[in-house]
Amino acid sequence: MAGIIKSSFSFMVGTVFGVYVAQNYNVPNIRKLADTGMAMFKHLEETYRKPKKPGDDQ
């Protein structure tokens, strides 16, 4: 029983700290930030991609 508490102590402390920070500070939305980054990457890839050769059907 003591092993379970000892092994999950850092997880519990991290969770409590994360809840405190999220409630008291302006934390950015990571999913929205990642989606914006992926959209920018796709736009750059489509803009600067080499044109396909006529024989490349793969």
What is the spatial distance between Cα 53 and Cα 58, in angstroms, rounded to a whole number?
11
Question: In angstroms, how far is CA 50 from the centroid of its own chain?
Answer: 29
pTM: 0.46
Where along the chain do its domains lie?
Answer: 2-48
Q: Which residue shows structure tokens 């989606």?
A: 35
What is the spatial distance between Cα 10 and Cα 49, in angstroms, rounded to a whole number?
46
Give the model confidence (pLDDT) of 21-52 as tens digits: 989 998 888 899 999 999 999 999 988 887 77
Secondary structure (H, E, C), 6-17: HHHHHHHHHHHH
CA angle 37, 40, 42 (to 5 degrees): 110
